[in-house]
Structure 1
């Protein structure tokens, strides 16, 4: 809540009375302490093993934190800010290391909601000064615009920087004022409501995913029921048709024989890297 009108417990409070930076700090501290609790109970034993058996510190720590999704590369990078006298690390040293590891392995997007509130602008500026990825947003504005579009009152697609009124005679004075407010205080000021931008940034940048479209009929871009582009799969960038087959179903992956690029109407190699927006027909003998 960039307006500062929701406290740390999630309870509404006077706008501007709560500092949203406290919310971010609280979350980061909680996750860091969670990771610390995983390491702390075995830390002496792990470090003795690393030191006595000359094991790779990064691999040992990554294995211990495997359930959190931490990679060896993240540990290696986080370790750069520390000394290698692991047996002399105190709690503060471990927390410093884990804080850096969290930044690398779990990058966050701060979606600064309620940007239209007068108290939000200064808080957004402060958030951007401290954190690398802050997206101003107004969920209430997005909901209002989407509902108005569904009702046939405006033309609007999520992520747009504007909307077009197409049924002026059906809008009440209150609705017109609300749309004018959104246009002036959200769209013109920040370029969008921020909701679609936040989703796109999370999926395509931080998670490094691409969207591909599996079809059964490569000519009609449809499934066996005739539904055109019935599904979209989010898969890691660098995935191949065989990887995609396994994402659909294990049996389809096990029985994978080849794939067809529907846009080009041609067979593609099983190890070819897929691209954003590819429409693919998977051929499987299962």
Structure 2
């Protein structure tokens, strides 16, 4: 029996936080979508139909066309942080995309992803996702794939296909990427792009993250990255800011807060104390 479409609670929390930041009445919108506040906690799954209804309620309540496009930064720093660490540390663009295709279903199974030659395709699963979600998906992919390779979007993609109802086309064109209308999302990579070595490739980190993603949920992935941080703090003198960056934290303060919550001390206190990781 096919699995029911879902969106992980972490990604849904990011949607809710973005809606709240836009001044929308999130409590009312959640109620209309049939989502209980308790569903947003932890690492559970929320039926895709409820998330789609939430996005529809956001649109009805006045969220603009660019709502999904503006969601992208929050996805990178919050709900998809653990996945981004895994993808950033891969050896090549092709290896990174292989991990994305394999582990995206832990975040959501609303999109079926495939890599055919040099084209990355994202097709619907059972139903068509809201155009806000599609905008967030395509812009996140284009921006992050280019960032990982140390290139601009225009250097990495020769063409991107989007659906007619999407707003992402304007953003892609501003980035210098050619846009066409299609029946599903399609990202055409430039010749040789899949073989590009990632500047952030880190075999030790990547293998550690892979072990977690192969048999654990998102919470365990984040916890494992913090244990890697302890090893780096004890083994060398690289700046705490650099460690935070390597683990995918855009703000060192977020890394410091997560480390203290996990281990009871700040990274600086851990390093000064001479503690050794277990």
**Which range, TM-score by smaller chain?**
under 0.3
Q: For the pair shown, which has the larger CA radius of gyration, 1 or 2?
A: 1
**Which structure ranks higher in relative contact order (CA pairs < 8 Å, sequence separation ≥ 6)?**
2
TM-score (norm: length of structure 1): 0.21
